[in-house]
Every structure is written in structure tokens, then in C-alpha cells.
A and B are shown apart, each in its own frame.
Chain A
Amino acid sequence: MGFNARGAWSIYTRELMRAMRTAFQSILSPVLTTSLYFVVFGTVIGARMEPVDGVPYGAFIIPGLLMLTLLGETTSNSSFGIYMPRFTGTIYELLSAPVGVAETLIGFVGAAATKGLVLAAIILATATLFVDYEIKYPVLAIGYIMLVAASFSLFGFILGVWADGFEKLGIIPLLILTPLTFLGGTFYSIDQLPEPWSTIALANPIAFLVSGLRWTFYGTSDVSIWVSLGLTLGFLALCTAVIAFIFKTGWRLRE
């Protein structure tokens, strides 16, 4: 028996159905939160702001807000996806089935990434209600969103394996990802910061992600798109390597 495609599909579809069961939490809640950001920062405050790098302020913040939701949701969805079976004990079925690292990742991470993409599409559609914007490189934007969604779904999977309680699941998205995204140029260009803050801001890896996505939207960025792309791919490779290690050693999965 080789790659178990049906096994991967079963995990994938079940995870998506789980999201549908919790549609309010998975979809409506982040869309509502992001819409509030658009209303407050895009429409109300944004109307009084100067354009940034030639981009109207309301449109300028779209990539950052999209990244904020994408990082938080893909990480949370994926981490809950693998943590819940560990917590409830149903992980026994996954471990005893003929599924390996590839099927498990396609199932859990694929579903989390899919949810992230659906969410991103809904948020972009919602943004048109509040702000006028045009995406300069739509294909690249979709590709970059997919890359980030996959990377942080992998990261969430690691988090879900590492966590030994619900508190730990919430710590990383809430206390690390959200602040770093806020400080990573979501609401301003890093170039606008005075020294040494503009240099310090570049120590924040999320800044490169926001900058990369903004480049695909408007062709302007704080750092080179190649640096952003290289960093994202590097993060993806690192997370994949960590997960391969987890499966090889059985760390926190098999006793």
C-alpha cells in the first residue's frame, strides 16, 4: 500500500466539515472583526490620512489586515485540528491508520490552508464595501496568500502537537502573531518610522510578510519582494522539517 489518498481526503473533508459546524467562530467572527478595522481605520480615520507611497490609506491597510486574519486563523485552525484529537483521545485512530506524514499534512494543513484562503477571499470581498482598491498582480497575490496560508498552517500544526493545554494554543496567535502583525507595518509603512525604530522593525519577520503581500497588491513595499518570498519559503521549509522530525520520532504523538 502506497500513499493513502482516500485517507488524506477523509481527514481533509472532515476538517472542513468541522469548520462548517463552527462557521460563526471560523468564518463570521474574523470577517466581522476585520470589517470593523475597515470601518474605523479605513473609512473613518483613513479618510483624514495622507496616502502612503501613493496608495490611499484605506487601501494601504488591506494587505496588513488580510495578513492579520490569515496568520491568526490558519495557525489556530491547524493547531486546534491536531490538538483536539490529542485532547479527546481520538488521535488513536489516526495513529493506527495507514496514514503517514504526507496524508496527515494534506488533511489537516490542507484544510486549514483552504479555510484561510476562503477567509481571505471573503475579507477581500468585504473590503470592497468600504474601500476602493485594485490588486496590481492578482495571480501573484493569490500565490503569496496560498504560500503564507500553507506556512502558517504547518506552524499551527506544530503548535497543536507541542501544546499540552488550551492556554498554550492561544498564547502564540494572541500574544505573538497579533502584536507582531500590528507592529509589522499593517497600519503604516516601516519607512515612515524614525531611526532606530525602522531598523528594529525589520527584526520582526511578520513585517516581511506584510510587505510582500502589499507589493503584490500595489507594487510598493518596505523590503524587496524577493527577500519576503525567500523568508516565507524558508519558514515553510523549516516548519516542514520540524513536522518530519515529529513524525520520525513520534514526539508528543506516539508514546
Chain B
Amino acid sequence: MLVVNETILEIEGLKKVYSGGVRALDGVDLTIRKGEIFALLGPNGAGKTTLIGAVCGLVRPTDGTITAFGHDLARNWRAARARIGLVPQELSTDMFETVERAVAYSRGLFGHAPDKARIHEILKSLSLYEKRSSQIRELSGGMKRRVLIAKALAHEPELLFLDEPTAGVDVELRKGMWEQIAALRERGTTIILTTHYIEEAELMADRVGIIRGGRILMVDDKDAIMQRMGTTEAVITLSEPLSQLPEPIAQFPVTLSEDGLELCYRGGDGSGSGSEEVAALTKALIAAGVDYRGIDVHDSSLEDIFIDLVSAEEAA
């Protein structure tokens, strides 16, 4: 599924101040494109769930506008909500209801005619078909979370919010969920997910937004972020200590440790230019007659960038 430049969700100047005075959202502007997977990252209390709640009708915004599928949510909320699905963070289900009836209820609630075949198809895609007649309380935590996904998919939403979809889910099941999210995207569903697992965002997202203190700190294509903010770090352990850097080596972005035994390179970007420069550095070392015993190269991850960005904001 290709991401097209058609905007399906536009948020402008969104603010939310709770009755206790907590400012959860402080002027959020955000645009979501059709067909993309957008990962919203942020520490606890950053405003992720409030932002989702405001779009999905759970939270009343204090100020700002939300336009989904061309409908102003304050006015044409029915038309907009009919095309939006939500998988909440909490495992909130009617525990005494059977899986199939719970999913069928969700479909009806969103105004769709009963369609047993479609419900069965959704249950099969989430490996819940065999459990369709079981009460939800009898299911494992991972299955309950999949029931929530099935309920959110029952009305075939074009925009799906996944609020921490893999929270508390074991590694194997998490990978299964990633596959399901990828399959949804293939079918053309636009997905906005919040997650604490930045690896998840790095693996799946087309674009990433970082939110903190109710403000969006940055939104960009994941690859562009990695390229712009990513770095390569290489630590070269020398055979003999150096008192100072030879001239050809000093031209690289390197620092020498106090004992003169470690050369630390930090440079490049997320495009791989850092690795190429490290290779050139090693050649320059050999040419300058500097021997070394080992090299440890590390490309920064989205997590490193996220931590740096949030830490910098905190310091500011």
C-alpha cells in the first residue's frame, strides 16, 4: 500500500486543560496522510492518550479543530466517527460476552448491517475464530487484546488508532501483532499507533511524531529523522597509546581518550555515511602507522534519538 499525499486527519491548535488544571495538550498541530503508519512517541503523561481521545470523542477539547475525512469533528462527528476505529490501551471488554457477539455488537454500533461472514473473517485473521463462542473472561491477556482489535475492525475503519497495542504482550505475540498491523496497512487502513517500544515504531512507522508536555516536538518521515539526527559512533582501541592525533587522523570527527588508548569517532548520519567514514578512518590509521586491536561500531537507533530529543527538551 502506497502512502498518498491525501490528508485524512488534520489537527490544528488542539488544546486540552482538564478540570484539575492539568494542561494535557498545548496547541497540537498534526496532519495524517492516507495509508501511512504514524507512530506517536512520548514519555508517560506526554498527552498521547488525550490526543487520541480527542479525535475519537472520549475527550472534549478545550480549543482547536479536528478535521477527519473532510468533516469537522465538532459538527459532523457522526460521519467522521463512522470511519475511525480505536483500540484502547486498557483491556476494557464485557467479560461475560462471547467473542463473536462482542465483535458483532461493535459492528452494529457503528451502523453496519450484520455480516457473520465478515466477522468470521476478522476473527480468523486474528486467530480468534476457534474461540468465537468463548466468553471473553476465559481468554488470555493477549487474546483479549486481539478481541479489542477485532472489535475496532468490525466496522472496517479507514483510520485506526492503536493505543499501546503491544503493552504487556510477550515477544512472540508482539511480533504477531506487528504482522497484523502490517496486513491492515496493506489493505489500505491508515494507522496511528502510540507505543513505548520504540523498536516497534522504528520497524513499522512511515512517519514518527514525538510529543512531550502536550506539545509535538517533531514530526517527520522516520527515514528523514534517522538521516538528520542519526549518528554513528565507533570506538577504536589502539595497540599503543598516542600522545596526540596525527594530522590525517585529526581531520576526522574523533576524540582521543585521556590515556591515549581509545579513539572515539562520532559522525555521519542515518544514511550509512558514518560507516563509510569509519572505514576511511581505519585506512588512514594504517597509512599513518597507527595500529589498533579492535573496533566497536554502533549506529544510533530511533530510541537514542528519542531519548536525546526528550532529554534536551527537559534540560531546556
Contacts and interface: CB of A to CB of B under 8 A. Distances in A.
A98 B77 contact: yes
Contact of B108 (A2, A6, A21, A96): A6
Contacts, number: 78
Interface of A is mostly: helix
B110 interface: yes
Given A1-B82, A2-B78, A96-B86, A89 B110 contact: no
Given A97-B81, A250-B60, A254-B57, A7 B109 contact: yes
B164 to A, nearest CB: 14
Contact of A254 (B59, B110, B113): B59
Contacts of B197: none
B267 interface: no
A93 B18 contact: no
B90 A95 contact: no
Nearest to B96: A21
A17 B78 CA distance: 26
A10 B108 contact: yes
B220 interface: no
B207 interface: no
Among A6, A96, A254, A255, max chain B CB count under 10 A is at A96
Interface in B65-103: 77-79, 81-82, 84, 86, 88, 90, 92-96, 101
Contact of A98 (B18, B81, B93, B113): B81
A97 B108 CA distance: 10
Given A93-B109, A95-B58, A4 B78 contact: yes
B291 to A, nearest CB: 64
Chain B interface residue bracket vs A: 20 to 34
Contact of A100 (B78, B92, B96, B109): B78
Interface string B257-297: 00000000000000000000000000000000000000000
A1 B58 contact: no
Interface string A218-255: 00000000000000000000000000000000100011
A180 interface: no
B47 to A, nearest CB: 13
Given A7-B111, A10-B108, A11-B109, A96 B58 contact: yes
B58 A98 contact: no
A81 to B, nearest CB: 12
Among B90, B92, B108, max chain A CB count under 10 A is at B108
Given A95-B58, A96-B56, A255-B59, A1 B88 contact: no
B300 interface: no
B60 A1 contact: no
Contacts of B110: 4, 7, 97-98
A89 B89 CA distance: 11
Contacts of A97: 81, 109-110
Among A5, A94, A98, max chain B CB count under 10 A is at A98
Nearest to A96: B56
Contacts of B81: 96-98
Contacts of A89: 88, 90, 92
Contact of B113 (A2, A6, A14, A88): A6
Interface string A95-130: 111111000000000000000000000000000000
A6 B94 contact: no
11 contacts: A4-B111, A5-B111, A6-B109, A7-B110, A17-B101, A92-B56, A95-B56, A96-B58, A96-B81, A98-B82, A254-B57
Interface of A: 1-2, 4-7, 9-11, 14, 17, 21, 88-90, 92-100, 250, 254-255
The 5 closest A-B pairs by CB, nearest first: A10-B108, A89-B92, A98-B78, A96-B56, A1-B78
